Amino acid sequence: MDCRTKENPERTFDLVLKVKCHASENEDPEVLWKFPEDFADQEVLQTVPKFCFPFDVERASRNQVGQHFAFVLTDIESKQRFGFCRLTAGGKICLCILSYLPWFEVYYKLLNTLADYLTKELEDDLNETLRTLYNHPVPKANTPVSLSVHSCFIAPDVTGLPTIPENRNLTEYFVAVDVSNMLQLFASMLHERRIIVTSGKLSTLTACLHGSVALLYPMYWQHIYIPVLPPHLLDYCCAPMPYLIGIHSSLLERVKNKSLEDVVMLNVDTNTLESPFNDLSSLPSDVVSALKNKLKKQSTATGDGVARAFLRAQAALFGSYRDALRYKPGEPITFCEESFVKHRSSLMKQFLETAVNLQLFKQFIDGRLAKLNAGKGFSDAFEEEITSGGFCGGNPKSYQQWVHTVKKGGALFNTAMTKASPAVRTAYKFAKNHAKQGIKEVKSKLRHKENEDDYGTCSGSVQYTPIYTLHSESGANLARRKLSQSRLRPLKSLDGAPDADDEEDAERASKLSSEDGEEASAYFYESDDSFETRAKAPSQGEMDLLGEILDTLSTHSSDQGKLAVAKSLDFFRSMDEIDYKPTDQGEKENPMWELHIRKLCLNICVGESGDRLTRAAEVLEQLTGQTPVFSKARYTVRSFGIRRNEKIAVHCTVRGAKAEEILEKGLQV
């Protein structure tokens, strides 16, 4: 339940009521009129009128309570339904619109129009306006809607950041409460305290509640949420669980007479906040300082400056959740709390240890995982802020490729197999079989290494394998590579809508044998928590298995003697299968770890005697000072099952610190 707003409601509104308040609280408010007339939900008809007068009716006047306010009801699915109200006739009459759409400005304007019709006794115009809107399909964002000659509106985009002055709730909240108290309230909500906000003006009171929870984005308040509490529910203030409740000042004395413990109270009228906690000091000081300075700038006061300042703070606090996501082929993506908390500053670590137990954070993570594992993907302002602010240690392209991998599974390899000729399929199976042997060797070494070192239960940041090119391609090879890339075009968006090529590829891939599908691996790899890499991630067009195979099979004899690093199935190995050696973590100017084993797939044109393999081994030994290992290097030419003078791919494991030098300079044999 990462979002409390209902998706795709059936109607623009469910009910409109005209309610009369009696002089005594002992008498229930009376429904004078409703639309539609056949609305039959008696529970709603009994509940809504009691929320229309959330103040002491014997003491308060219209000047005290204001005109517009909005309450919230929670349905059985924990989705919020909003009650938009307008008080008239000295606070004795209330018009209320009940809707799942959080269109505050639209419905407040509509309430003014309805009140004007009632004042002028234009019942036909009133009914026609409501009938038109009731039967109108829910419009898309930024779509104009015309209800009558004098009444129209543009459907708001509720997915964007709220702006000042367009967003009424945030505007009133920012004007009524100073920066210091806004920060205190924000910190209290992040710690899920019991919070009471009070004011003598209902419009300001509910605006402050709605505005403050909006600044929690991308998270949502998951506990009791009552923007304005009616008199018959005052006992909710004694609830032992977290809550966020608004109370009109005419009822405040009754609340204070109850046994309240550990309650944070914000008085909007006096702009004072009382709290038994020091939650703000629990947040990292650099995040709080940056947020405070941003809010005090004049340029922040308009547009989305306020909302974006809080969004950036949320990204700084929680943006590294990406690094704690774990994916293994054939398994759902998961979240590792231990990895999320590790390797942060002491103050940040202390806060995150508390944050991982908060409901708002748990629901946020569950929502993200659900979308990723469903293959839908997402791209919102929060993810953009994480990327632009550099609040995630992984590569910014991780989501695109993760969603692509989860959505299509092993379709990348299978599509290459489907579109390739039989000769290409043979080369693919050859590379796959020999790669499996190499993987077994590395796994054996890792088992030996794990007996000596204790690495934790969770893996660290998702990283990329570096890609290097040691020689320029010819024009023909480049054209052939572009052709293969167009066949294996990666996913470019996160909207979850598959394009025609994706569906075609998936259909073709499903026809392949399960044996080949089981060997397909993910794009992402897991490393120990204590490490992270700065290796440059491959661009979307670089990971092209089909292009590599085509290049290999079409090499001419004039290319004899050249060796170049090529992408092989080793590129798709997990980091668990690659041996690495940690370095001194105290060297801040260097990466925390560095690969000392490079997997090279050498394209070697084999002579009649296979002597070039021997010469390649000699050159590598001179460069590294160590003896390299060539998979199947001792086999004769015929045992490879290929023709003489044909280019083949041979896996080579190069050990030593000079591996980088080899990758940069290339080899000439």
**pLDDT tens-digit series, residues 178-188:** 999 999 999 99
Which run of H or E residues covers position 135? Answer: helix 123-135
CATH class of 168-312: alpha beta
Cα separation, 279 vs 185, in Å, equals 9
Of residues 383 and 345, more confidently modeled: 383
**pLDDT tens-digit series, residues 456-473:** 445 433 333 333 333 334
pLDDT for 288 beyond 80: yes
**pLDDT tens-digit series, residues 563-607:** 444 433 333 444 444 343 343 433 333 332 223 333 344 444 444
Q: For 583-637, what is the HEC assignment?
A: CCCCCCCCCCEECCEEEEEEEEECCCCCHHHHHHHHHHHHHHCCCCEECCCCCCC
Give the per-residue pLDDT at 295: 94
Domains in the chain: boundaries: 15-155, 168-312, 320-412, 600-668
Beta-ladder partners of 272: 267
State the average pLDDT over residues 147-151: 73
Give the per-residue pLDDT at 398: 54
Give the per-residue pLDDT at 576: 42
Strands (E), 109-233: 144-146, 152-154, 194-199, 224-226
**pLDDT tens-digit series, residues 311-338:** 999 999 999 898 899 888 888 999 999 9
pLDDT > 90: percent of the chain: 40
Cα separation, 202 vs 61, in Å, equals 12
Give the per-residue pLDDT at 259: 81
Of residues 498 and 199, more confidently modeled: 199
**pLDDT tens-digit series, residues 513-534:** 333 333 333 323 333 333 333 3
Pairing type for strands 565-566 and 30-35 reads unpaired
pLDDT for 652 beyond 60: no
Confidence of residue 62 (pLDDT cuts 50, 70, 90): low
Give the per-residue pLDDT at 523: 27
**pLDDT tens-digit series, residues 475-503:** 444 444 444 444 444 433 334 444 444 44
Token duo for residue 543: 């990971």
Helix (H, G, I), strand (E, B) or coil at 523: coil
pLDDT for 657 beyond 60: no
Of residues 416 and 237, more confidently modeled: 237
Phi, psi of 359 (to 5 degrees): -65, -40
Give the per-residue pLDDT at 180: 96
pLDDT for 16 beyond 90: yes
Confidence of residue 59 (pLDDT cuts 50, 70, 90): confident
627 Cβ contact partners less than 8 Å away, ≥ 6 residues apart: 617, 621
Cα separation, 640 vs 655, in Å, equals 25
Give the per-residue pLDDT at 437: 59
Of residues 420 and 41, more confidently modeled: 41
pLDDT for 36 beyond 50: yes
Determine contact, residues 575/531, Cβ cutoff 8 Å: no
State the average pLDDT over residues 391-403: 59
**pLDDT tens-digit series, residues 125-134:** 999 999 999 9
Tell me which amino acid residue 409 is.
G
pLDDT for 108 beyond 70: yes
Chain-wide mean pLDDT for the chain? 71
| Assigned superfamily of 600-668 | Ribosomal protein L5 (3.30.1440.10)
Cα separation, 605 vs 162, in Å, equals 63
Among 207, 29, 225, which residue's Cα sits nearest to residue 104?
A: 207
Q: Quick one: how many helices (H) and strands (E) in the chain?
A: 24, 22
CA 4 vs CA 44, 223, 228, 363, 530: distances in Å: 19, 11, 18, 11, 37
Of residues 22 and 97, more confidently modeled: 97
Determine contact, residues 178/273, Cβ cutoff 8 Å: no
Of residues 233 and 652, more confidently modeled: 233
Pick from 338-342, 436-440, 630-634, 635-639: least confident = 635-639
Give the per-residue pLDDT at 433: 59
Q: Is domain 15-155 in CATH 3.50.50.60, yes or no?
A: no
